[in-house]
Amino acid sequence: MQSIFQNRADAGRALAALVSRSVVDTNPLILALPRGGVPVGFEVAHALQAELDIFLVRKLGLPGQEELAIGAIASGGVRILNESLIRELRLSHRLIDRVTAQAEDELQRREELYRRGRAALAVRDRTIILVDDGLATGATMKAASAALQAQGPRRIIVAVPVAAEEIFEEFRTKATGIVCLYTPKQFTSVGVWYEDFSQTTDEEVERLLDRADAEKQRRAGLHVDYPQQE
């Protein structure tokens, strides 16, 4: 299989072009899923001249096989579990609760780190474009969508560069809309479609949020020092 995107920023620019053609709503809010969704979401927000914020979601990885998602949690106390996988693996409620508690601690750490006292942007009555770097099982995106629905948005649109075909179809047939560039039949994993899929760091997330905030203030006519990309 040949990679499609050079890196997440490249994927974000390509996705932004599709989102611009597909979403005609005024004043959408781009919510990126940290960490990997933030470089993608930044490019979408930049192209649409839209506000960018984060929405915290944490995958519940199987101990010893952390890449295998048994579910996910999101801001607002929402937990989505992969019930069929849990039954197949015969996982105990005690194990699931322990994994959940660890994920909640990390979710809180990232919330404090990334926001640095900044309040989350209002979701109610707005069109939300929910961005990640790809969809494999869809567990984290389902948790994010469920948590956001409780906050009363006008509508939610999932936007990703690449997704497993069956997960794309699952989102497409639900109330949540989806915009996606590629849905390969042989998916394997999100990372194989990127030439550079190195882990997005906390520092990069913070820098991109600062840049998005500076762009927002400039559009409002305020003078700010624009954080330059290194």
pLDDT tens for the chain, residues 1 to 230: 678 999 999 999 999 999 999 888 888 999 999 999 999 999 999 999 999 999 998 889 899 988 788 888 888 778 888 899 999 999 999 999 999 999 999 999 988 899 888 888 989 999 999 999 999 988 889 889 988 988 899 999 999 999 999 999 999 887 678 999 999 988 989 999 999 999 999 999 999 999 999 998 998 886 545 444 44
84: amino acid identity, one letter:
S
pLDDT at 102: 92
User: Torsion angle of alpha carbons 108, 59, 73, 195, nearest 10°?
Assistant: 80
Residue 159 inside a domain? The answer is: yes
pLDDT at 181: 97
Residue 62 inside a domain? The answer is: no
Greatest CA separation for the chain: 58
What is the domain count for the chain? Answer: 1
Residue 51 inside a domain? The answer is: yes
Give me 38's structure tokens.
């933030």
Measured between alpha carbons, how far is residue 209 from residues 19, 36, 38 in Å?
20, 13, 8
pLDDT at 230: 45
Per-residue exposure over 133-165, b if at least 16 CB sit within 10 Å of its own CB, e if not: bbbbbbbbbbbbbbbbbebebeebbbbbbbbbe
Residue 160 inside a domain? The answer is: yes
73: amino acid identity, one letter:
I
Residue 115 inside a domain? The answer is: no
Domain that holds residue 180: 8-56+122-219
Residue 70 inside a domain? The answer is: no
**Closest to 27 (Cα-Cα) out of 169, 129, 150, 173:** 129
Handedness of CA 58, 132, 5, 184 (dihedral sign): positive
pLDDT at 226: 47
66: amino acid identity, one letter:
E
pLDDT at 47: 95
CA–CA gap between residue 13 and residue 15 (Å, rounded)? 5
CA–CA gap between residue 216 and residue 30 (Å, rounded)? 12
pLDDT at 175: 64
Residue 191 inside a domain? The answer is: yes
Residue 12 inside a domain? The answer is: yes
Question: Residue 178 maps to which CATH number?
Answer: 3.40.50.2020
Answer yes or no: are the C-beta atoms of 151 and 170 closer than 8 Å. no
Query: In which region does residue 204 sit, left (phi positive, over 0), alpha (psi from -120 to 50) or beta (all else)?
Result: alpha
